[in-house]
Amino acid sequence: MRLAFRTAAALLAGGFLLTSVIAASAQTQGSGPPEQGKQKPPDQAQGEQGAADKITVEQEAEARALEEIEQYKQAAARLSLSAGSAECVWTGRRIASLLWRDDVDTARRYIDIYDRFGCSAEHLKLAFRCLIQQGPIDPKAADRLAARVHRCWIDPDGSTTAASQATTGSTAKSGTIPN
């Protein structure tokens, strides 16, 4: 008899709990059906948003690819064959970036590939020197580093950018060294 009483009490408590959860759920959803035309079902809205995001991601990737092709063309037009060929530009910029980030071991592996292509070791030295002379850059700003490496690859003897000149000028006056 005690077992039957405990079971009945447990079933009754479970029933109350279930009805209170259902009532609370109904209150949070609203009393009537969703309005037609004003709000799309969540699955449909997510599908359209996902498709729009996919299109913009594909467009951005295509724009980056076209920009990269233009950079290779620019390097081929301005530099000698040993520094301006696409394989030399590709590996050389990566070596300079890796050295900047203190990843010397990986840079050394790329240097083996760079040498195998017959690329100019002197141009790599000049480009890295240009990169160093422009001063510090935010380590989290990969795009800015890539742009600076490319500028130094194309024109390693060129003057520093206006931003780095302003930084250098302001730190020279105050007597501090930028980090």
- Give the model confidence (pLDDT) of 56-92 as tens digits: 888 888 888 888 888 888 888 888 888 888 999 999 9
For position 89, what pLDDT does the model report? 93
SS3 1: coil
For position 141, what pLDDT does the model report? 80
Q: Which of 23, 44, 49, 22 is nearest to 34 (CA)?
A: 44
For position 64, what pLDDT does the model report? 86
SS3 70: helix
pTM above 0.85, yes or no: no
What does each C-alpha distance from 138 to 33, 49, 99, 163, 176 come to in angstroms? 53, 33, 15, 13, 18
For position 90, what pLDDT does the model report? 93
H helices of the chain, in order, are 2-29, 42-78, 81-84, 86-100, 104-116, 121-133, 142-154, 162-174
Question: Can you say whether the dihedral through the CA atoms of 99, 105, 110, 115 is positive or negative?
Answer: positive
CB 96, CB 152: distance < 8 Å: yes
User: What are the residue ranges in the chain where pLDDT is below 50?
Assistant: 160-179
